Structure 1
Amino acid sequence: MKIYFKSLIILFTIIFTSCTDVIDVDVPTSEPRLVIEATIEWEKGTTGNEQLIKLSTSVPYFSSTTNNIVTGASVKITNDADDTEFVFIDQNDGNYINSSFIPVLNEAYTLEVINDGETYIAHETFVPVVDIAEITQTREDGFDSDVLEVNVLFDDPEDEENFYFLKFQKEGDILPELFDISDEFTNGNQMTIFYEREEDEDINQEEFEVGDVVDIEFYGVSEPFYNYIRLLIEQYESVGDPFSTTPVALRGNCTNPSNPDYYAFGYFRLTEVVKANYTFE
């Protein structure tokens, strides 16, 4: 009996071993690119003089590399109207800081980054944002009438084209929820943006409850950035959808004039922002 049992073990071992094939998949890779995180934010009620730009390099999807910061680069922003230059000082950790930046709404600025002999340029206008008129909570404006949602109300200016970007983040969450908004069909009206959370065990998400706190950031943005972030949000939300289109690398506005194919990832934007938080009652 012991011999028979031992023989079965050997037989199954042979079967499973012979049926196991090692498949090597060649994952496409590309040369690392510079990644420029240049979001210049002017929070209402502050001077806006403290600004930060982050530089890093792209890494392959399956890479375990964590030290991809870029140091030793030259970084500056110029106000195109009066040629005032704001030099960002290397902190030797991928961060570049300027403590004397002067934000001027509706004026054009140019970003210049020089790294490894390559010069990257980006142009953008400092975009203002209206105030938040009111923040409320209801159960009526969302997809589920039994679920709490937070509502942000604001008055869109008349006779001008506006684009907005909102971040909602429940305190304790790792990532925010992003919204891109255009006033194409609501120009000059009061607009309401709601954010609700439905229970989802797959991502460990629960509905809002009394006492939950939501941090809100409300930005005015340019049309090019609106188009960029809209595509980025669409790609993010389609992850796991077998019927979605294949994601592609999104090009921001950081160009390389002398070597156009070697552009940088990331985006240079200047935006006024209103920050608030809401506690559910």
Structure 2
Amino acid sequence: MKKYIYTSLMAISGLFLSCTDVIEVEVPTADPRLVIEASLDWEKGSLGNVQMVKLSTTTPYFDSDQPNAVTNAVVSVTRLSTNDVYNFINQNDGTYTTTQFEPVFNENYALTVQYNNETYTATETLLPTTPITYINQSRSGGFLSDALELNVHFEDPEEEDNFYILRFLRQGDLYPELRDVSDEFLNGNEINIFYEKRDDDEGGEFKPGDVVDINLFNVSERYYKFIQLLNSQSGSGNPFAPTPVELRGNCVNITNPDNYPYGYFRVTETDKQDYIFIE
């Protein structure tokens, strides 16, 4: 009887195995595009002279280990009102740095990247940023009951349109989180932005002793909308959300417009503070 059962199971297993087919799926690929990460941030209280631009190329989805740093470009930034040029030195690892940048409020700056005989450009205005007034923690203002949350407070200037980005990075986490807010309905008032973590987030909920790096930026409306779209497409978890669209920044290829890049050129002041959660 035992032998009969064993033989029957072997026969059934062989039946399933014989019906297994390998399906090869053709995954569409595209030519690599340049990716420009150019955030020139002038931290309050610093000279702002040390800046960096990072260049890479897109890679196929299933070839994420493929080297993609761009090491043969020429990078510079120009202050348009004076034509002062700040050349960025190639570090041969995809980063280009300078120690000579001179940030000036409300000046227009133009980025130029020369790569593979094509020229990419972008223009941005350096805006002053209102300072963070104070930071506190609580357990009652977020979505999760009793979860620790961070509250960042700052005063919005009156009679001007402002667009803010807050960047949060818990020390030890790999990626920051961004919050976008405008003063459309808050003009001239104190603005309070809260930030909390869920159990399924990287590192789990906030705990006493956690340290969070916080940056407040006052940015252009175009960059604000760029981050809004980025946030709406990154891990919303909403099955009824709109289909993701191609996310383009303000960088353009003036040599070959069809070969457009990804990424963004941003120049802004930032107020940076750290907060340590307590019991």
State which of 212, 221, 224 in structure 1 corresponds to 2:222. 224
User: Using the alignment, how far apart are the partners of 1:72 and 1:96 within structure 2?
Assistant: 10
Question: Structure 2 unaligned runs (5+)?
Answer: none
User: Using the alignment, how far apart are the partners of 2:214 and 2:262 within structure 1?
Assistant: 26
- Which residue of structure 2 aligns with residue 209 of structure 1? 207
State which of 272, 275, 279 in structure 2 corresponds to 1:278. 275
* TM-score (norm. length: structure 2): 0.93
Q: Taking structure 1 as reference, are residues 271 and 25 closer, same or farther at Cα in structure 2, changes over 3 Å only?
A: same
- Which residue of structure 1 aligns with residue 177 of structure 2? 177
State which of 254, 257, 260 in structure 2 corresponds to 1:260. 257
> Is the CA contact 2:49–2:99 (under 8 Å) kept in the aligned structure 1?
yes
User: Using the alignment, how far apart are the partners of 1:272 and 1:204 within structure 2?
Assistant: 28
Q: Taking structure 1 as reference, are residues 204 and 104 closer, same or farther at Cα in structure 2, changes over 3 Å only?
A: closer
Amino acid at match of 2:129: V
Deviations 1:151-198 (Å, cap 9, x if unpaired)?
A: 110000001000111111222222222101111110111100011223
> Is the CA contact 2:78–2:111 (under 8 Å) kept in the aligned structure 1?
yes
Over aligned residues, Cα RMSD in angstroms? 1.8
User: Using the alignment, how far apart are the partners of 1:84 and 1:108 within structure 2?
Assistant: 11
| Deviation of the 1:145 alpha carbon | 4.3
User: Using the alignment, how far apart are the partners of 1:14 and 1:143 within structure 2?
Assistant: 53
Question: Structure 1 unaligned runs (5+)?
Answer: none
Q: Taking structure 1 as reference, are residues 211 and 2 closer, same or farther at Cα in structure 2, changes over 3 Å only?
A: closer
Residue 235 (structure 1) aligned with residue 233 (structure 2): yes
* TM-score (norm. length: structure 1): 0.93
- Which residue of structure 2 aligns with residue 81 of structure 1? 81
User: Using the alignment, how far apart are the partners of 2:214 and 2:143 within structure 1?
Assistant: 20
User: Using the alignment, how far apart are the partners of 2:145 and 2:22 within structure 1?
Assistant: 51
| Deviation of the 1:243 alpha carbon | 2.3
Amino acid at match of 1:259: N
Amino acid at match of 1:191: I
| Deviation of the 1:142 alpha carbon | 1.7
Amino acid at match of 1:137: Q
Q: Taking structure 1 as reference, are residues 73 and 204 closer, same or farther at Cα in structure 2, changes over 3 Å only?
A: closer
| Deviation of the 1:255 alpha carbon | 0.4
**Secondary structure in structure 1 of the residue aligned to 2:193:** strand
